[in-house]
Amino acid sequence: MRTGRVLVAEDNEANRLLALKQLEKLGVKAEAVGDGEEAVAAVAGNAFDLVFMDRNMPRLDGFAATKRIRENEASSGVHTVIVAMTAGAMHGDRAACLAAGMDDYLCKPVMMSDLQEMVDRWLPSEQAADETPLGEGAAGRPAGDAGAAVEAATFEALRSSLGDDEFVASFVDTFLSQLSVRLETMDASAAADDGPGLRFVAHTLKSTSAMLGAARLARLCADLEASADQPDERDRLVLATRLEAERVQEELGPWRDRRRAVA
């Protein structure tokens, strides 16, 4: 079992739930907050050994939150390890995170092996982390053909790594609930010519989609994020994103319902 206190700062509820579950599987107890302001307050009021900080959050983003934490630490001499989490994966992102005062960098979607590496690197332990196999994927894939909206191999890898289909069903349920809301926000932002709002919703949806295996939806979200200020391309991508999201719903929904039926 790992020692030390861990904080996850992530505004996306589904990503937050998944990060906490992944850390639990690694023998790490963690707490979570939903934005940068809450992260600053949490670190100021508690002695955290490691913070996983999302880069893009409302009210206060990860860079600004890190800067404020470092300013607060200047008088105390304390240094909280902060690992950036970003779906950007752009050239220079790592250097930008380190320049902002962060200690390391983790790219979304966060794979269990990458998270394990960060935990091993930065979090103290009394003994080696639990290496018990996390379980094999069970039958009931949401999709198996090459044209599927959800890639079976990626989805099965997630299920296998977590070893808890009840949690995965809950995670899928949260994702699908959020998906409906985010599609409405996407349409409203496009209609209002709100580029920043459109970029934010596309960015937020991108990483969770990739984690679940909805690779085409994740790519469309990335393209939409990059083209939010280009009306013609934006409108095409909004339509394509909605259609692909509906395919994802059609494949994940029945799998979730089957898991509920046997639970």
**CATH number for the domain that contains residue 163:** 1.20.120
pLDDT digits (tens, 9 = 90+) for 39-84: 999 999 888 889 999 988 888 999 999 999 999 888 777 889 999 9
Q: Is the N-terminal amide bond of 109 cis, ω within 30° of 0?
A: yes
- Domain containing 59 equals 6-122
Q: How confident is the model at residue 2 (pLDDT cuts 50, 70, 90)?
A: low
> Domain check: are 25 and 118 in the same one?
yes
Q: Which CATH number is 103's domain given? A: 3.40.50.2300
Q: What is the token pair recorded at 187?
A: 């349409």
- The two three-digit tokens of residue 182, written as one number: 């985010």
Q: Are residues 43 and 116 in the same domain?
A: yes
Residue among 191, 238, 187, 241 nearest 219 (CA): 241
pLDDT at position 51 is 96
Domain stop point among 72, 105, 122: 122
pLDDT of the residue at 91: 53
**Is 219 a domain residue?**
yes
126-140, 148-162, 180-194: lowest mean pLDDT where? 126-140
- Residues 117 and 157 placed together within one structural domain of the fold: no
29 and 91 in a single domain? The answer is yes
What local confidence, expressed as pLDDT, does residue 105 receive?
86
pTM value?
0.63
Residue 51 falls inside a structural domain? yes
pLDDT tens readout for residues 82-113: 999 887 655 567 778 878 889 888 888 888 88
Q: Is residue 209 part of a domain?
A: yes
Do residues 105 and 98 make contact, with C-beta atoms less than 8 angstroms apart? yes
- Give the Cα separation of 260 and 263 in Å (integer): 5
pLDDT at 135: 26
Angle made by CA atoms 259, 136, 253, in degrees to the nearest 5: 25
Q: How many domains would you assign to the chain?
A: 2
In angstroms and rounded to an integer, the radius of gyration of the C-alpha atoms of the chain is 19
Domain membership of residue 127 (yes or no) is no
- Kindly report, residue by residue over 174-219, the tens digit of the pLDDT: 999 999 999 999 999 999 999 999 999 999 899 889 989 998 899 8
Of 102, 122, 142, the residue that ends a domain is 122
DSSP 111-155: -HHHHHHHHHHHS-BSSPPP--------S--S--STT-SS-HHHH
